[in-house]
Amino acid sequence: MSQDAKRKEFAAATRDWVQKGEDLRRWYEEHFASWWPKSGQSPPPEPKVVDREAMDELERLRAEERKAQEKWARLNGDLLDLS
């Protein structure tokens, strides 16, 4: 695989990892109230219920994010080994 192709694959893996991290962050934001607005602003929406289904979704999102990070790390290592 050419160096350019490896860089494109690395860029795609980076985008995928960022997206998976964003999906995980969004899950937390939807299920846990982590901030409160300053006076005059409307309150945040009520957090979603954390039931067994939500926990299964969280575990899936964590696994996807971890897998994407591992792929990114592997490709990053491959690029750093290029001469």
| Class of residue 69 by CB neighbours under 10 A (exposed 0-12, middle 13-18, buried 19+) | middle
> Any idea what DSSP says for residue 19?
H
Residue 13 and residue 68 in contact, taking contact as beta carbons nearer than 8 Å: yes
Across the chain, which has 83 residues, the per-10-residue mean pLDDT values are 86 97 95 78 84 97 98 92 62
What pTM does this model have? 0.81
Token pair in block for residue 55: 């926990």
Query: Tell me, what amino acid is at 30?
Result: E
Give the pLDDT confidence score for residue 15 in this predicted structure. Answer: 98
**What's the N-to-C CA distance of the chain in angstroms?**
14
